[in-house]
Amino acid sequence: MALMTGKNIFITGGSRGIGFATAREALLEGANAVAICSHYDETREAALKKLNEEFPGRNIVGYTFDLETCAESVIGDAMKDFIAKFPDAEGKQHLDAVCSIAGITHNNTAKNIPEGLFEKVVRVNLIGTWYVDHQAALIMRGQKYGSIVNTASIAGVYGSSMGSGYGASKGGVIGLTRSLGREMAFFNVRVNAICPGVVKTDMVMKDCTEAAIAAVSAGIAMRRMAEPSELAKMFIFLCSDNASYCEAGLYHVDGWTT
CB of 1 to ligand NAD, least distance (A): 28
Using CA atoms, how far apart are residues 48 and 45, in angstroms rounded to an integer?
5
**Residue number, 105 or 164, with CB nearest to ligand NAD:** 105
Edge to edge, what strands does the sheet with 97-100 contain? 59-64, 33-38, 8-12, 97-100, 146-151, 189-196, 250-253
Please report, as ranges, the residues that interact with ligand NAD according to CB under 6 A. Answer: 12-13, 15-19, 38-40, 43, 66-68, 101-105, 124, 151, 153, 196, 198-199, 201-204
**Residue number, 4 or 193, with CB nearest to ligand NAD:** 193
CB distance 115 to 77 below 8 Å: no
Q: Please pick, among 7, 63, 131, 166, the residue that the annotation labels catalytic.
A: 166
Q: Please pick, among 7, 170, 200, 251, the residue that the annotation labels catalytic.
A: 170
The residues, ordered by sequence, that sit 6+ positions from 19 with a Cβ below 8 Å of its Cβ are 11, 12, 13, 36, 99, 101, 102
Q: Is 166 a catalytic residue?
A: yes
CB of 132 to ligand NAD, least distance (A): 10
CB of 201 to ligand NAD, least distance (A): 3
The phi, psi pair for 9, rounded to 5°, reads: -130, 135
CB distance 148 to 190 below 8 Å: yes
CB of 249 to ligand NAD, least distance (A): 17
CB distance 199 to 228 below 8 Å: yes
**Residue number, 46 or 246, with CB nearest to ligand NAD:** 46
> What DSSP string runs through 63-124?
EE--TTT--HHHHHHHHHHHHHHS--TTS-----EEEE-------B-TTTPPTTHHHHHHII
CB of 2 to ligand NAD, least distance (A): 24
Looking from the CA of 106 toward its CB, the CA atoms found within 13 Å total 24
Q: Which residues are annotated as catalytic?
A: 166, 170
